[in-house]
Structure 1
């Protein structure tokens, strides 16, 4: 019978943790949130041997066991809370061999928690380039725990790591008998008294729990009161004890390094990474290259996705036509074709763009360039009241504002964190991508400038840059409106440049497509079906009168039957419940160039931005009648006409609608997570008000200029 062991991955940022997690779990992983906090939780499963399976949880990267940000508090709670559901049987502590001294500091703290530890030594190739040679058996002997060199990018050492984990689970490797440093000597009275009140595994765990007792939710009121009294009795000075601990650890690490680590002359040749950084981080050329990278990113989305998109559109057109031909007319066939199939087409057709966008972003992260984007942006960020740590949430906002806002928890400065939360939704998320693609393909000519620059790709890039620079402008305004004085520091370790891990790129693309299809797809499908009902039915008396009127006209003018049928479907939609709702809001949105159908889409897309496409697909499928089943959504939108016969989707309307979606708060989930992060409805309401006003004014100006 198979057993399951619980393993957590810990380590410094950029130590190869994500690579090792992917190498161990592959596609057998899922992403959620840690219980009680909105911090991403990646968990997966791997088999260590024929009888032993392991649940692996990837904890957020941290430099020390002393927590400051929300990510670090998650790691602290998992390792020290006896009731945490992810409490590990074994800890894999990653150590970057090219920065071995600093990484061993964190590893030594983990070892002193008295949890079975296996150290995975990464970046050995980079260490060799730096002239660092590590005697692994000597290091293992000095630390008292298994040390396994691994290269997860190339899946080297994974078998040896699994074997070490299996032996540790079987009890053949045990935690060291003594502490890495004499912990009890740091605060003997405090540690002894704390262990009487709190269940901990080691003296070091007792010291940490006592030092952070005010923030620990797993302690009850009695324990907190007891610890508070103990701290007062012992006159405990946390900063002094922490400083003394770090000094002792580095002294012991220095001794270990003399035994197990050989370092060449420090006047070594520069690494290739440092030569590349002289160009990519240049004060002028660095920003030019950054813009060029973004330009290629958005050009590629159109260039690479047009063929799979066309095939998907043709497939759904064929399915709709086939169903229309074989099924008898009636409400069920109408629901199936104009509700279900139309809704599915609005989801599936954009999967290629989603996969390509995230694939390219993963390549930038894997190569190490994304960290350089943060570094380049820090100077610009500081001028508007943010710092380089705000860049990653903003970049994450290109995927989805919800996890991006959660990612602000690693920003210690409260003012900068609040401003980042309030401006992040201005970044064009992937949910806006389907809206942009449909509208750009409708109103922007498929033309190339200078023979290779796609005009559509340039417009797409312009929309994303507009959102970014608007976010910076709003941040600058909020910098002067929010009065909090707190110094902040931006420290970033730049990883070395590496070739992208194509397996990791593929895993990310599949995961993001799955999330889009399942999470966004469910919302789109539900709204599409509800919308089909609202668009297909209306007040009984009005619908009967309409049917009687057009039946009589068709009998009187049989030669005009097809034209009258199309006119009847249009009138039927207009008199439906959906049409009535659209006409109510039409006077408000008419100055922006929008008709009542677009108004319905604006309302439904408040559930999720991409619902706009599904809404339009359903509305025009219901209106178009049986022959429209042979047209793609873009063809239906191109043929859309106002009552006076003019086109609905002209250049001014298309641009106005795109600008509206750049600025508008179109997602209930984002407002909910802002409320959760700020613990107040005040800030999400401010966000909703300023973004809606900005969207309306900008859309109005755009429409009337063009």
Structure 2
């Protein structure tokens, strides 16, 4: 009997520990090659999952958003737009860094709006206490419409729970975070009328990116009736980004608390001393005195 196989896309900003999560999931069961026609590295690994299931994981190049500015980033968009691709995922796992959650969630919301099951991994959880960070995970899951795995790829914690979430991916909501029409209601309503069977946000990415939609060229799909000048597109992209960060800020206002007074790392402790309303001035004048004394002694 064939073992069930779940196709997984591992996605995230650079420096979020995404590849460390990939290594924790796959161990040494990895293959490294290149994407066809380009020199971008392609890493694929096999992961053993619960319930006698396996996962085939593609570790996609790091990207800050789906507004591609490089060949590496374009690889991510090409895969997520093309259901005919052999690597098109059953579920996307988006890796974020707990210290840069606001910035990392921009990419998460874009992928979520492709109406694909998405699991949010919040990595480097071992630094939460040191940084005075606390998270309301049930609140975040409810308002981001996803499931969250709190992980430390350095220590390996949370990986087993992530595997449990992966095998239950089909129970995750595919409801988008942002209504694409809110970017430009008139334009997007016209787009929806012209292509009623296509996902609106995918069409938007085809219009704004140098990417294919299921192997269909931009011009073939859209003709000329929906073309806009580059400045017009840039303006709409900026509007989209602003709306996404408004959504993210609203969610994190309640879902995340950062209390610098509880942080225990060396930098935070030094900050508390150096910015103290009494000792801060004492240290400041002490440093000035030391500088002047050094100048006179060396002169």
Query: TM-score normalized by structure 2?
Result: 0.81
Q: Does 1:216 align with 2:217?
A: no
Map of 2:172 onto structure 1: 173
1:227 aligns with 2:222: yes
- TM-aligned CA distance change 1:7 to 1:181, over 3 Å: same
Instruction: After superposition, give the CA deviation of every residue in 1:464-512 in whole Å (9 maximum; x if it has no partner).
Output: xxxxxxxxxxxxxxxxxxxxxxxxxxxxxxxxxxxxxxxxxxxxxxxxx
Alignment of 1:411-490 (within 5 A): none
- Is the Cα–Cα contact under 8 Å of residues 190 and 207 in structure 1 kept in the other structure? no
Provide the residue aligned with 2:152 in structure 1.
Answer: 151
The equivalent residue for 2:296 is none
Residue aligning to 1:56: 57
Tell me by how many angstroms 1:116 deviates: 0.4
CA displacement at 1:119 relative to structure 2: 0.6
Could you list the per-position Cα deviations for residues 322-375 of structure 1 after superposition, in whole angstroms to 9, with x for gaps in the alignment?
xxxxxxxxxxxxxxxxxxxxxxxxxxxxxxxxxxxxxxxxxxxxxxxxxxxxxx
The one of 163, 181, 185 equivalent to 2:182 is 185
In 2, Cα distance between equivalents of 1:175 and 1:13: 25
- CA distance in 2 between partners of 1:91 and 1:217 (Å): 18
Report the structure, 1 or 2, having the larger helix content: 1
Question: 1:187 offset after TM fit, Å?
Answer: 3.2
Indicate the residue corresponding to 2:202 in structure 1: 205
* Separation in 1, partners of 2:240, 2:228: 21
The separation in 1 between residues aligned to 2:249 and 2:115, in whole angstroms, is: 22
Does the residue aligned with 2:226 lie in a helix, a strand or coil?
helix
2:256 is aligned with 1:261 = yes
Shift of 1:70: 1.0
State how far apart, in whole Å, the 2-side matches of 1:155 and 1:191 are. Answer: 44
Aligned to 2:280: none
Aligned to 1:25: 26
Gaps of 5+ in 1: 276-706
| RCO comparison, higher one (Cα < 8 Å, 6+) | 2
Distance of 2:228 and 2:235 partners within structure 1: 16
Q: Which residue of 1 aligns with 2:104?
A: 103
1:188 Cα offset (Å): 4.0
Superposed displacement of residue 269, structure 1? 7.4
Q: Give the drift of 1:83.
A: 2.4
* Residue 50 to residue 251, structure 1, CA distance change in 2 (3 Å): same
Partners of 1:199 and 1:25 lie apart in 2 by: 37
Greater strand share, structure number: 2
Q: Could you give the per-residue CA deviations for residues 170-218 of structure 1, whole angstroms, max 9, x where no partner exists?
A: x222312xx3122112234544555655975x32212111222x54385
User: Aligned to 1:237, what secondary structure does the other structure show?
Assistant: helix
Asked if the contact 2:132/2:264 (under 8 Å) is kept, the reply is no
> Match of 1:67, SS?
coil
Specify the SS of the correspondent of 1:231.
Answer: coil
Map Cα deviations across residues 18-46 of structure 1 (whole Å, 9 max, x no partner): 11111111111110112332110110111
Distance in 1 separating the partners of 2:146 and 2:127:
23
Match of 1:237 in 2: 232
- 1:133/1:199 CA distance change after superposition, 3 Å: same
Alpha-carbon spacing, 1:94–1:226, altered in 2? closer, same or farther (3 Å): closer
In the TM superposition, what whole-angstrom CA distance separates every residue of 1:145-182 from its partner, at most 9, and x where no partner exists? 000101122221111101111111xx222312xx3122
- Report how many residues are paired: 268
Aligned: 1:251 with 2:246: yes
CA distance in 2, matches of 1:153, 1:227: 46
Counterpart-to-counterpart distance in 2, 1:274 and 1:207: 46
Alignment partner of 1:115 is 2:111: no
Residue matched to 2:66: 65
1:122–1:183 Cα change, 3 Å: same
Distance verdict in 2 for CA 1:218–1:50, change over 3 Å: closer
CA RMSD in angstroms, aligned pairs only = 2.8
Secondary structure in structure 1 of the residue aligned to 2:234: helix
The answer (yes or no) to whether the contact 1:198–1:206 under 8 Å persists in 2 is: no
Q: Deviations over 1:516-551 (max 9, x none)?
A: xxxxxxxxxxxxxxxxxxxxxxxxxxxxxxxxxxxx
